[in-house]
Amino acid sequence: MFKKKITIILLILTTSITLSNCSESTNIDPIPPSDENTNPCNLGIPSISSNSPVTAGTNIILETPNISSMAEYYWTGPNGFTSYEQNPTIIASDLSAGTYSLIVNEGSCISATATVDVVVTAATAPCNPTNNTASNSVYPPMTFNSVNGYVTQDQYEINASGSNGGLTIIFANSQTPSAGVYSICPNCPSSFMDDNQVCVSIVTGGTFSDYFRPDTGNVYISYINGHISATFCGLEFSGTGVGYDFTASAKVTAF
């Protein structure tokens, strides 16, 4: 009987100690995470820049520093622009002005979004010829009584005609040209012009009509009351046959 009481007392003490230990364990604070267990992503907001303000017809340049060989870059912007290049370029126009955004992925890490605003300014020709005329260094001045802009053979074209000759400006594709600066395509005629290039030609009037083209220079495209207008200044035209090479400036606006 005495041994039985001792056994019961020991059992009660053992149970009490066990329950006490369990109760104390539930109040133990969790082990704080070490630096190795924290979020490994630390990309933050990417640093980005641009060459804004940009003249229409020239290139918008977007830049961000290289993060690593694993980094992937995702740009978005106005007029549906997207790019996966680290430092993309876009031909500036009134449609490409606005806010550009960049997100960088590196492995499983995604950065916050960085933004930069780009301002596009109108291109201004360095000369101001009388509208719908062309002057040159050899032949009589041209006055154009018909100027039209239209799509022909999958290319947009401005065609001006008058009594002393005609002027034609052909663009790279059938889209209506945006305002800006377009460079002369040196390999005209060509169906492989860049989007910011044009092919320009002049046919002189008179007894002998000759065909002339420039190899270098710029054409300035603008809009006057909704009508497309083209201006060029001091372009050097050359041709074949009996005609003489000349320098010409012109401004034409489609009726």
Q: 13-37 b/e with 16+ CB inside 10 Å = b?
A: eeeeeeeeeeeeeeeeeeeeeeeee
124: its two tokens: 């201004």
Could you write out the three-class secondary structure of the chain?
CHHHHHHHHHHHHHHHHHHHHHHHHCCCCCCCCCHHHCCCCCCCCCCCEECCCEECCCEEEEECCCCCCCEEEEEEEHHHEEECCCCCEEECCCCCCEEEEEEEEECCEECCCEEEEECEECCCCCCCCCCCEEEECCCCCEEEEEEEEEEECCEEEEEEEECCEEEEEEECCCCCCCCEEEEECCCCCCCCCCCCEEEEEEEECCCCCCEEEECCCEEEEEEECCEEEEEEEEEEEEECCCCCCEEEEEEEECC
Q: Token pair 């320098």 is at which residue?
A: 247
List the domain boundaries for the chain.
43-121, 133-253
Q: Token pair 């007392």 is at which residue?
A: 9
Task: Report the pLDDT value the prediction gives residue 255, as an integer from 0 to 100.
Answer: 85
Read off the pTM: 0.68
pLDDT in tens, the chain (255 residues): 444 443 433 333 444 444 344 444 444 344 344 344 444 677 889 999 999 999 888 899 999 999 888 999 999 999 999 999 999 999 888 889 999 999 999 988 999 999 999 999 988 899 999 999 999 999 889 999 999 999 988 899 999 999 789 999 999 999 999 888 999 998 887 668 888 899 999 998 765 578 899 999 999 999 888 999 999 999 999 987 667 899 999 999 998
**Contact assessment for residue 195 and residue 172, using Cβ atoms and an 8 Å cutoff:** yes
**Contact assessment for residue 248 and residue 202, using Cβ atoms and an 8 Å cutoff:** yes
Task: Report the pLDDT value the prediction gives residue 206, as an integer from 0 to 100.
Answer: 61
Q: Which of 92, 57, 58, 56 is nearest to 77 (CA)?
A: 92
Task: Report the pLDDT value the prediction gives residue 208, as an integer from 0 to 100.
Answer: 57
| CATH class assigned to 43-121 | mainly beta
